[in-house]
Structure 1
Amino acid sequence: MAFPIQRLRRLRQHESLRRMVRETTLAPADFIYPLFVVEGRDRREAIASMPGQHRLSVDLLIKEAGEVKALGIPAIILFGIPDRKDEHGSSGFDPHGIVQRAVRAVKEHVPGLMVITDVCIDEYTSHGHCGIVRDGKILNDETLDCLRRMAHTHAEAGADMVAPSDMMDGRVAAIRKELDEGGFPDLPIMAYAAKFSSCFYAPFRDAAHSSPQFGDRQSYQMDPANGREALREIDLDIEEGADIVMVKPALPYLDIIAAARGRTLLPVAAYQVSGEYSMIKAAAQAGWLDESRAMMESLLAIKRAGADLILTYFAKDAVRLLH
């Protein structure tokens, strides 16, 4: 009989012992901190649906980036919110666009902090979709040209990594070819490989003013019901040259993170998206959850499932608790 010879509670009696046998741990190097950048100066706009998060002009973004680096977080990922939008998202691949200027500024003023850029035109299009639209249809191959140009301008600005999030077929290969032929063969690609069509993106779309003006994104983002298809997407992005593969969202898709971890030797990233963040914030503000414990438990779950890297709006708060 296992009991009483095996008493699993023996290793839970003291905090020091619990720390000694802890299987999963978090560290500052696990995190990537997302930031929203807008035009102007001294501009700091609170995002109502994401308590504690802001849209920042470049001058204030530099200060925020310095704080991120001081905490030991190795990287940020930038999302641009331009003043000008059009049907093709052309401000997204303008060499002097908002993200391109932000990259240059952070690289100049916060050396050593890794700057990752989101490569997708939804924040820059008047219709809010991630691809070129014709007759109400999202065009795949025509969109690839926009993504190639965007990635190239990000590389020229000094980005340390590009992260295509559009879910167009073939975009990793197109960007890899563009970077290689454009003189950036060493620039890595973190692919949003399994990005599901999720309601948990709603606060982000509020933050980035990027909600679709018609229809939805189900023709290119993944059906939440499909696990095998997610693995096919991951396999294809690896074949096309991705250096890191990402699952997004994180907590509702821990099974996909675990399956990805068992399938590839590449680093696996997971994005704890705006809705995951805002749910915890809202419940904590209502007094229904302990915010710090809920935050750390959710991040540990993502790490335990197999994520090497976690993109999260909780990065700064989590690292302060870890110190």
Structure 2
Amino acid sequence: MADLVTLDDIETAAARIAGGVVRTPTVHSPGLAARLGAPVLLKLEQLQRSGSFKPRGVLAKLATLSDDERAAGLVAVSGGNHGLAVADVAGAAGIAAVVVMPENAPARSVSAARAAGADVRLTPDIPAAFALAAELQAAGMTLVHPFDDPVTLAAQGTVGLELARDAIALGEPPTDVLVSVGGGALLSGVAVAVRALLPGTRVWGVETVGAEAMSAALAAGGPTPVTITSAVTTLSAPSASQLTYDHVRELVHNVLVVPDADAARGSVELAEHAGIWAEPAAGCLVPAARTILESHPGAHLALVICGRNADVPG
């Protein structure tokens, strides 16, 4: 079993990235509360630099690299948001970066990563993207992994740190916190912070059908490869890691799975009832919230809106 990240690790990460990221707000959503029939807090990470929570982990990782590791250039594999964050952070720091994405990654993320100065390379699918990134790492580049890194995981946990502190300040701590799951670093880090600061609060992961790396790992008793068929590329990790699996097994109440169509409808509901543009990776939390309320009536919900980087239909 991997060593679990602690609240102290998350506090260290928060100090590491201070000034480099947006301290995003946690707000009430009267519209979504009326829609769901329960109090709702929203952690607005779609307002974060590059449009998702991902720069937190990238900045923290960059702070730990040696001069030689920086000079070698960074390589990242991503369904969209992680690659865009690496491109943004590396470009601002004057560091070369190669970002490998599957061909079905959001076009806006591909374009934005290139505009930030990254060399974006497209592959047929996400497993091929991971394979190419591994080749580039073997050739000497410095890998910035999207989730299999305790430094990154602790930095993503700063989302949960801020959420928990905001909820305490508002005097309305949630009974249930919902977090989207790709490789699981955000869910893991949020669970560490929330469980430490809000004891008794349930933390839930949410995946989409065809991007069920964490559900599969929990069912198998450890990380196992999955076939990616979901259109929600920003959740499409080909497997969880031992690091994220161990955190989720220990700290997360359950992982729910919703269809792509429900995730897309959830994005529409966030726009119509909360005034938020969010990608389906965040939209999936809305149908999952309904499932939770069916089994836990009276729940007070907090949803981590992880990002906004989805293509707009033409």
More helix by share: 2
Q: TM-score, normalization: structure 1?
A: 0.33
Q: TM-score, normalization: structure 2?
A: 0.34
Q: Which has the higher contact order (CA 8 A, sep 6+)?
A: 2
